[in-house]
Structure 1
Amino acid sequence: MTYEAASHFAQTWGLAFAVALFLAAVLYALWPNNRATFENAARAPLNKDEDDDHA
């Protein structure tokens, strides 16, 4: 395999892999079942727990 062929293969499939990873991340973030998890995580810094009295 020549350098040019390896470079072309890596660029093509690397781009396809990056696009697939991006789409997977967007789908994960926008999936309806994850809404409650992300809302709880967003409010976590604002919630006062009993363990935070020493701060």
Structure 2
Amino acid sequence: MEGTEIYTAMRHFADSWGLLAMTLFFIGAVIFALRPGGKKNADEAASIPLRED
């Protein structure tokens, strides 16, 4: 396979399945961040740098 053929194949993959994978990941991250009970965990994680040992 020549370099241009590999580039074309990778670009085709990124244009189709890569975009779908990134979209699904983004939707999953938003759902994970906005899930019920997530605020308590986020507030706890946000206060970690401010804790004194």
TM class, shorter-chain normalised? 0.5 to 0.7
Which of 1 and 2 has greater Rg? 1
Q: TM (normalized to structure 1)? A: 0.64
Mind listing any 5+ residue stretches in structure 2 that lack a counterpart?
Answer: none
Q: Partner of 1:34 in structure 2? A: 38
> Take 2:20 and 2:37, find their aligned partners in 1: how far apart are those partners?
27
Once the two structures are aligned, what percentage of the paired residues are identical? 36
Mind listing any 5+ residue stretches in structure 1 that lack a counterpart?
Answer: 50-55
User: How many equivalent pairs are there?
Assistant: 45
